[in-house]
C-alpha cells in the first residue's frame, strides 16, 4: 500500500513538472536592428518567438501622436523571423519623432520603439523605382521617364529644365547605356544621392536631350 502511494505521488509530481512546458503561453519578442533611423533608410526588425504555433503575428506601428497603422499580419514560420521594410522612410509620409511597434502573437505581446531623426540624406520617392523599372524594360518612353522625375522628385535633388510639355515628350532622348546606372540604383548598388548626381550631370551636359 505504501509503495502504491509513493508511486502515485511520483506520478503527480512528474506530471506537475510537465504541465508548465505543455500549457505555457508562447513568448514573443521584438529585436530592433537599431533604434535610430533617418530618411531614406528602411525599417528592419526581427520577431522572435518561443514556438511556432501556425498563427500569424499582428503588428501595429504608431507615431508619438498615437496615429496607428492598420493591423499588419506577419506569417511566423520560424522562431526567428526577420522583418525588412520594402519602402524607405520618406519625409512626405513619415513625420520626425518617436515610433512604437506593438506585436501580438498567440496571446503574448511585446513592444519596441525607435526614433526617426532628420538628416541630409537625399531620398528619391519609392514610386520612382517602379517608374524606372518600367523604363529600363522598354515599357515607358524616355520622355515619360524624365517627366516622372520632374513630377515626383524634389527640384533640389534633380532639377529638370522647364522645357517639358506634351509636344516635346517624344523628342526627349536618353542614351541606352544610362540604363546600366538606373539598374544599379534599382539593385541598391548605388545610393539615391549617387543616382541623382549622375542624372543631373547628364542633363546639365545635355547628354540627356530635353
Q: Any idea what the CATH number is for the domain that residue 111 is in?
A: 2.60.40.1930
Query: Does residue 11 sit within a domain?
Result: no
Query: Does residue 181 sit within a domain?
Result: yes
Q: Does 40 have pLDDT greater than 70?
A: yes
Query: Does residue 39 sit within a domain?
Result: yes
Q: Does 3 have pLDDT greater than 60?
A: no
Strand segments, DSSP code E, in the chain are 28-32, 36-38, 44-49, 57-63, 72-74, 80-84, 97-105, 108-117
Query: Does residue 55 sit within a domain?
Result: yes
pLDDT confidence band for 6 (50 / 70 / 90): low
pLDDT confidence band for 4 (50 / 70 / 90): low
> Is-above-0.85 flag for pTM?
no
**76 and 106 together in one domain:** yes
pLDDT confidence band for 162 (50 / 70 / 90): confident
Query: Does residue 12 sit within a domain?
Result: no
What mean pLDDT comes out for the span 7-33? 63
Q: How many domains does the chain have?
A: 2
> Length of the chain, please?
210
**105 and 29 together in one domain:** yes
Using a 10 angstrom Cβ sphere, with 0-12 exposed, 13-18 middle and 19 or more buried, the burial of residue 187 is: exposed
pLDDT confidence band for 145 (50 / 70 / 90): very high
**34 and 101 together in one domain:** yes
Full residue range of the structural domain in which residue 177 is found: 127-204
pLDDT confidence band for 180 (50 / 70 / 90): very high
Query: Does residue 76 sit within a domain?
Result: yes
**196 and 171 together in one domain:** yes
Tally Cβ neighbours within 10 Å of residue 149: 22
Are the beta carbons of 163 and 147 closer than 8 angstroms?
Answer: no
Of the residues 64, 92, 117, which one is the last residue of a structural domain?
A: 117
Q: Does 13 have pLDDT greater than 60?
A: no
What mean pLDDT comes out for the span 128-136? 94
Of the residues 97, 117, 137, which one is the last residue of a structural domain?
A: 117
**98 and 147 together in one domain:** no
HEC profile for 51-81?
CCCCCCEEEEEEECCCCECCCEEECCCCCEE
pLDDT confidence band for 110 (50 / 70 / 90): very high
Of the residues 117, 136, 162, which one is the last residue of a structural domain?
A: 117
CB within 8 Å of 153: residues ≥ 6 apart: 124, 125, 128, 196
Amino acid at each position: 500500500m505504501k509503495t502504491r502511494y509513493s508511486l502515485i505521488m511520483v506520478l503527480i509530481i512528474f506530471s506537475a513538472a510537465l504541465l508548465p512546458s505543455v500549457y505555457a503561453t508562447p513568448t514573443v519578442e521584438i529585436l530592433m536592428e537599431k533604434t535610430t533611423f533617418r530618411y531614406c533608410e528602411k525599417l528592419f526588425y526581427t520577431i522572435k518567438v518561443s514556438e511556432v504555433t501556425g498563427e500569424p503575428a499582428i503588428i501595429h506601428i504608431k507615431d508619438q501622436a498615437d496615429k496607428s497603422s492598420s493591423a499588419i499580419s506577419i506569417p511566423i514560420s520560424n522562431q526567428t523571423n526577420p522583418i525588412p521594410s520594402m519602402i524607405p522612410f520618406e519625409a512626405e509620409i513619415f513625420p520626425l519623432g518617436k515610433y512604437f511597434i506593438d506585436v501580438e502573437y498567440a496571446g503574448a505581446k511585446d513592444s519596441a520603439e525607435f526614433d526617426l531623426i532628420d538628416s541630409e540624406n537625399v531620398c528619391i520617392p519609392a514610386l520612382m523605382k517602379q517608374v524606372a523599372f518600367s523604363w529600363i524594360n522598354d515599357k515607358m518612353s524616355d520622355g515619360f521617364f524624365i517627366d516622372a522625375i520632374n513630377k515626383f522628385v524634389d527640384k533640389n535633388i534633380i532639377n529638370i529644365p522647364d522645357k517639358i510639355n506634351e509636344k516635346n515628350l517624344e523628342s526627349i532622348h536618353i542614351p541606352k547605356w544610362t540604363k546600366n546606372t538606373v539598374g544599379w540604383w534599382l539593385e541598391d548598388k548605388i545610393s539615391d544621392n549617387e543616382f541623382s548626381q549622375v542624372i543631373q550631370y547628364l542633363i546639365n551636359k545635355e547628354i540627356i536631350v530635353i
